[in-house]
Structure 1
């Protein structure tokens, strides 16, 4: 079976193969035992049944002389050996694959998260999900099927030897039949299974991308009565996936049919080659031929999945990654200087960014904290231009609550712990400061209350406050809030801002606040007006204005 040619993914897979070497060797060894035991079991069973039948025909004297104890005991031993070895092979092979994927998936996610923003954000969320889930799952065949060549080799050798007991020509013809079966399966795999497997992986990515895009705007689709249109869009993407899966299944059917044809031809060739041998040995050779060709089935299964595995590896290789993965982190001072007036701001300073909608306020802070590529000369951290710092160097300085809150389909606790480790007391304090604790204490599940996909069981204001509580839990020099009280009623807004003021004083954090509302900006001692993004891509800023905090 082919290995992925991609250098980065190939290196990661090779590293996991080395880490799971013992389990993979156990799977290969037991796979070989299964093939040998299955071939000998069927061959010996055919010999035993035929011999017993002939002894019965020969009369009572032959029956009394026939030794049935040793063959029957051997058959039982081979059956137990095959069953036990198959169990060990499956457990070892799948355990190795699952452990490898459990380590591979976080490595790929970390590479994507630390990639340059212009590349990482260019990948749609649905497509990224498909690559980190379905494509990584498809790669597991590169681990599970490693035992197939060993099983094939052991099966071929044992089948040829068993058939050779009847006639050397029978063993040679059986080996030729097995080679023919493998060659035909390889040809079908290349012509039919590989393109179909590649199409399946691509279609899965397109379907998840389409579904993620539609889900993100589901309220608008319902509001404008576009439910049927959305369902049609999803059905078209699903139809493409169904068509690819049908093609892959048909390829598997052709491979199975080819194997059946070769099995019949192998038996038809082996039986005449045993001319002159006893009937029990002929039966032994015929059934050995069946099991010999059957031992190719593992390789056939691997070939059927090869196209999907190769396409998955190619798609994973295309995932963005860090430009300098082994680069040592740079120590950056939390002093912030914006080009508007050159004033150095140190925590616990509080800066408000104001301006009309679409002026570039969110763009500016996303460039600052490393979610977008920064423009040279726009800002400095310490004495270093932000554009000269990697996102990994900048992000530890900032705790960010975005205007568009993203939540996972899990519990309140799981969403909060994305910020980092924290005990329940810290979680409740953050929820208290976000004016959300009372709502959750009324829920019997408390912190373990499920919020649904992207927090659909919460209101818009509750989702925003849960994102705010999550930002509170991240220890950082600067707390960056983008419209934190948008959509809140005046009483709740006042409660949130009072708790925010108290929390900032206690933690000594600096604040960078974006808001259209006047109440939040009263917490700031300095504001800068954002005037828009120029033709050169730089965000225009007006000189800072000092305020007297409320």
Structure 2
């Protein structure tokens, strides 16, 4: 059975089958026309020279119209065919890639959290860019075998005009050259191509990771060590590229030797033939091997393409089971505690006890422990991530933002929200006055990851974005951490009013007592086991305080 990425690629090959067939036909025309053109040109020039040397009478009777017309026709066919192959082949590849990248991104978003969390931003971008680009070579080069076959057949037919033995010799030499080149590609370029692809991903991961920590590296005087670390991964990449170039050089040498052998064979087998036919066979055999080099170039990329497919395959997840009936927004934690819409649960406890881990499990942002949480009557582990996440609007401790404007970042949660709705969310997050100070208003640029805002402003912008999504439950992780008392009081008051207006439920994490006052029930998270698993057991006492024990 084909792996996930192979199924996606096969589906795109099927979708682009018309373009791929057209590109293959063009490749066959190019290769056949190139071989016949070179052979015919050699025959025509040699025959014309001999006719000229034989005297004016012979020269005047020499028919140059038909050969010259055929040469022009072949030249036009070769040029048009090459243009068609490049345009149609790349058009098919680009159409396929335009479908593949969104599919892969979607798979990363809904994949098992253990897979998604294992990828750094650098590694993810490397796979979505360089590795997908490698698959482009797969589509573009699908026509190469057909072109090589057409060139070999055209060369054999052309050489047959000189001698059947010559045609057989050229066919055998061409076939042996392809077999030797395939073997050489496996030995000299396949592993180097794979290593190049893998080391490129590692280099980009190392670079982006250390660049993200650049301020800290400068502050602690660690820039030299970071540079050495980047240089080490760069050396691995350059070493793999060097080995790939050496392998390509060996393939070029193999082609040159095959051409030399073919020339000698043609000389020997056409010794009794006329000079024009000998020239035809000579250049025809050289053209055959030159056209076959396109196929060999394709084989030299096989290792890189295979490695790219292997690196992309973990990103393709199997479809999660989907519950056909809509969920009724009832969360059962442990055996007893039930949280419904309009209910408000506050979580407190020591730092590192598992509060954030719990809510990330709840939203399928981390691997889910079976048997601890239920949505309606379904175990959370049986619910697809998309269905689980549809119940929540989340403001994490460290919200991430795109490089864009205030409005663009807010509309990530509500793409169709009006400006009035955006301002209302900003008001409830106590951030509207700050945005109003900017002449651009909602079009105020934020810079990379909202670096033009302070830490407290970024936290409130994340809160405003969460307000915009009309989900049954609002999930807030330390929404007032780092804020002054006046701003905290403003946010808590507006949060209470907003919840009463929208009817949303609330799950709120806070070390500070003030935000917990808006909650109906308070849970104390006591810790986690040595494996970091969050298994929730809940019991309620008469004071509406919960004991949430992370075993």
TM-score for both structures, normalised by structure 1: 0.89
| 1:534/1:540 contact within 8 Å kept | no
Check whether the contact 1:353–1:513 (CA below 8 A) recurs between aligned residues.
yes
Question: Counterparts of 1:144 and 1:449 in 2: how far apart (Å)?
Answer: 43
Give the distance between the partners of 1:297 and 1:156, measured in 2 at CA.
11
Counterpart among 171, 175, 181 of residue 175 in structure 1: 171
Matches within 5 A, 1:10-409: 10-319=6-315, 321-322=317-318, 324-325=319-320, 327-329=322-324, 331-339=326-334, 342-409=336-403
Change (3 A) 1:21 1:376: closer
Answering whether residue 7 of structure 2 is matched by residue 8 of structure 1, we say: no
Distance 1:208 1:491, change over 3 A: farther
Displacement after TM superposition at 1:480 (Å): 0.7
After superposition, the Cα gap between the structure-2 partners of 1:392 and 1:30, relative to the gap in structure 1 and judged at 3 Å, is same
Q: Within 1, Cα distance between the matches of 2:121 and 2:325?
A: 30
Task: Show the counterpart of 2:549.
Answer: none
| Corresponding position of 1:460 | 455
**Aligned residues of 2:333 and 2:537 also touching (Cα < 8 A):** no
Look up the SS of the partner of 1:294 in the other structure: helix
TM superposition shift of 1:20: 0.8
**TM-superposition CA deviations, 1:151-172 (whole Å, max 9, x none):** 0111111111112212222211
CA change 1:427–1:533 in 2 (3 A) is same
Aligned-residue offset at 1:44 = 1.9
Is the aligned partner of 1:506 residue 2:492?
no
In 2, Cα distance between equivalents of 1:233 and 1:172: 57
Aligned mates of 1:406, 1:290 — CA distance in 2: 59
CA distance in structure 2 between the partners assigned to 1:141 and 1:58 by the alignment: 52
Q: Which residue of 1 aligns with 2:523?
A: 528
Structure 2: distance between partners of 1:239 and 1:25: 41
Contact 1:422/1:473 (<8 A) preserved: no
Checking the alignment, whether the CA contact within 8 Å between 2:5 and 2:316 is kept in structure 1 is no
Distance 1:183 1:377, change over 3 A: closer
CA contact (8 A) 1:197 1:308 kept: yes
Q: Compute the displacement of 1:498 (Å).
A: 4.7
Task: Pick closer, same or farther for the CA change 1:78–1:397 going to 2, 3 Å.
Answer: same
Structure 2 CA distance for aligned equivalents of residues 433 and 79 of structure 1 = 72
Return the alpha-carbon distance in structure 1 between the equivalents of residues 393 and 47 of structure 2.
80
1:218 CA displacement: 3.4
**3-state SS of paired residue (2:266):** helix
1:505-538 per-position Cα deviation (integer Å, ceiling 9, x unaligned): 3332222111223343333333222222246753
Give the CA deviation at 1:361. 0.9
Query: Please, which moves more after superposition, 533-542 or 25-34?
Result: 533-542
Q: CA deviation at 1:307?
A: 0.8
Deviation at 1:239, TM superposition (A): 1.4
**Alignment map for 1:412-451 (pairs within 5 Å):** 412=406, 415-419=409-413, 421-423=415-417, 425=419, 426-427=421-422, 429-436=424-431, 451=446
Distance, in Å, in 2 between the alignment partners of 1:281 and 1:343 is 93
Conserved? CA contact 1:329–1:392, under 8 Å: no
User: Number of residues paired by the alignment?
Assistant: 541
Range that drifts further, 326-335 or 300-309: 326-335
The CA deviation at 1:435 is: 4.6
Structure 2, gaps ≥5 residues long: 546-551
1 CA distance for matches of 2:92 and 2:3?
Answer: 22
**Cα distance, 1:429–1:51 mapped onto 2, change above 3 Å:** farther
Alignment partner of 1:538 out of 518, 535, 539: 535
Question: Conserved in 2, the CA contact under 8 Å of 1:528 and 1:542?
Answer: no
Given that 1:530 and 1:540 are in contact with CA atoms closer than 8 Å, whether structure 2 keeps it comes out as: no
1:488 to partner: Cα distance: 3.4
Q: Where does structure 1 lack aligned partners over 5 or more consecutive residues?
A: none
TM-score normalised per structure 2: 0.89
Q: Following TM superposition, by how much is the alpha carbon of 1:398 offset from its aligned partner in structure 2, in angstroms?
A: 0.9
Contact conserved, 2:322 with 2:384, CA < 8 A, in 1? no
Distance 1:220 1:540 in 2: 40
Q: How far 1:413 moved relative to its partner?
A: 5.2
What are the Cα deviations for residues 431-463 of structure 1, in whole angstroms up to 9, with x where unaligned? 454455565566677666665554445443343
Where does residue 515 of structure 1 map in the other structure? 510
Cα separation, partners in 2 of 1:509 and 1:326, compared to 1, 3 Å = closer
Partner of 2:548: none
Distance 1:62 1:527 in 2: 109
Question: Counterpart of 1:245 in 2: which secondary structure?
Answer: helix
Structure 1 residue 9 displacement after superposition: 2.4
Cα gap change, 1:492 to 1:262, in 2 (>3 Å)? farther
Partner SS for 1:128: helix
Q: Give 4+ residue runs of structure 1 displaced > 6 Å after superposition.
A: none
Query: Equivalent residue of 1:380, what SS?
Result: strand
CA contact (8 A) 1:483 1:516 kept: yes
